[in-house]
Amino acid sequence: MIIRFVILISFVFGSYFFTQVKAQDENLSQPIPGQYIVKFKDSNEDSSQKADKLATVYGAMVQNVYEHAIMGASVNIPPGKEQDVANDPDVEQLVQDFTVYAVGKPSDIDDNSMIDGNAMATGNMSGGTVQVIPTGINWVDAELNTTNEGEGVTVAVLDTGIDFNHPDLMVNKLLSRDFSGDNTGGNDDNRSIGGHGTHCAGVIAALDNTTGVLGVGSKIDLVSVKVLGASGSGSFSGIIAGLDYVTANAATIAVTNSSFGARGGTSPSQSFIDSSNLLHQAYQRAVNAGVICVVAAGNDAVDVTSNNEVPAMYPEVVTVSAVDDRNGVQDSADVWAYFSNFGPEVDIIAPGVNILSTAIGGGTSSLSGTSFSSPHVAGTVALYVAKNGRPASGDARLLSSLISAISKSRSPLPGEPSDGFTEPSCYANGSGLQ
């Protein structure tokens, strides 16, 4: 309840800041007033004891406590007490929290539909007895790989939740959690985008049956780690809470999908850099624990590194850009998706335009964005793990054999920004995945 309040406030203030900085850049991540991430100094005391002290001594409202991704907590601090908290002997660092958005937030979708109408939902198609193979699944040839459906591999979807009752999805509810403050237990409540997390989940693991769609691996174990609220927005502190949970459960969770982002811009504030550094540390802890973190590059058509797009710019994560395919075949008609971010930190590309997948409340819808490229790769990574076992580290810089097993090399696409590195295409039917 407390966190829901904070997110609502951040949304309101976000709109305020939005108007203030609109002329400069309307898509930059914004500070969340009063909300901070605390990193504690190393000691024998656990983070929850230290967080309790901050509440008692300074009146801070503690939201999430971190024991794995970083040692710390997210707190709301009464005005005027910030310096006192920063000077507390337990506190190593106090940083401003910032907003994060689902990569496919409503404003992006409006942009897309204005330009080519590719974000229009196709409406529910449930009730039929025919299963559709979406063009993205066809493009990566997941439908041809009938020997490996990702059985025994757990993928955590860090998003708006997953519709627990969708007939074309099987969600591991026991392991699912909600860190967004919506108190859904991980169930999806994002009706503004038609179930952003549910859509990602369907690309990864929609069931192989006689209805709806087919996912990359129909036997992948789906876990919802809800870090975005009903509106599709969240915070760095909420993402760190999700990663804290993933890191604590790294023995089970092999892969994560992060279809969200925050952009600091070409000259970010020091407080954004400080906050990004803590988020970066949380991803580093997760990959060091053996979790492969797949993330969307983002939809601003910019270089992820020079524009400080996080988490896409972190070298340890597998970053995915979008190809615009319309017919489900890798052919000369494929072009670079005009909205996709790019850059040398991008590792692989996958379809991200008119992606048919599971919708909240049942049925399917069609959405566009790098949000939906990323889960094609997360699902294909799960196929790799099912076949080859887990690598000791999830660090993308150490995963060259994994990346080559899940991809095909390609030529530059029409419209592709030149960044010196032509990332391979995701491919789910290679010999290393059979």
Continuous segment of H or E residues that includes residue 2: helix 2-21
Answer whether 297's CB lies under 8 Å from 322's CB: yes
Residues 6+ apart with CB under 8 A from 251: none
Residues 6+ apart with CB under 8 A from 55: 61, 62, 75
Answer whether 97's CB lies under 8 Å from 39's CB: no
Cβ proximity to Ca ion: between 64 and 429 the closer is: 429
Q: Which residues from 114-133 bind Ca ion, rule CB under 5 A?
A: 131
Cβ proximity to Ca ion: between 212 and 352 the closer is: 212
Asked if 212 is part of the footprint of Ca ion (rule: CB under 5 A), the reply reads yes
Give the SS3 label for residue 278.
Answer: helix
Which of residues 2, 8, 21, 329 is near Ca ion by CB under 5 A? 329
Residue 360: count other Cβ atoms within 10 Å of its Cβ: 24
Q: Catalytic positions, please?
A: 159, 196, 371
Asked if 138 is part of the footprint of Ca ion (rule: CB under 5 A), the reply reads yes
We find the least distance from the C-beta atom of residue 135 to Ca ion, in angstroms, to be: 8
Which of residues 6, 102, 200, 207 is near Ca ion by CB under 5 A? 207
Residue 128: count other Cβ atoms within 10 Å of its Cβ: 12
Number of residues that bind Ca ion (CB under 5 A): 14
Give the SS3 label for residue 231.
Answer: coil
Which of residues 327, 388, 400, 401 is near Ca ion by CB under 5 A? 327
Cβ proximity to Ca ion: between 325 and 395 the closer is: 325
Which of residues 90, 108, 141, 423 is near Ca ion by CB under 5 A? 141
In whole angstroms, how far apart are CA 313 and each of 209, 268, 306, 417?
38, 14, 9, 16
Q: Which residues from 150-169 bind Ca ion, rule CB under 5 A?
A: 168
Cα 431 from Cα 376, distance rounded (Å): 18
Which of residues 83, 124, 147, 209 is near Ca ion by CB under 5 A? 209
Cβ proximity to Ca ion: between 42 and 331 the closer is: 331
Q: Which residues from 21-50 bind Ca ion, rule CB under 5 A?
A: none
Cβ proximity to Ca ion: between 9 and 132 the closer is: 132
Q: Are β-strands 348-351 and 318-324 bridged in parallel, bridged antiparallel, or unpaired?
A: parallel
Which of residues 42, 331, 332, 392 is near Ca ion by CB under 5 A? 331
We find the least distance from the C-beta atom of residue 129 to Ca ion, in angstroms, to be: 11
User: What does the binding site for Ca ion look like in residue numbers (CB under 5 A)?
Assistant: 131, 138, 141, 168, 206-207, 209, 212, 325, 327, 329, 331, 333-334
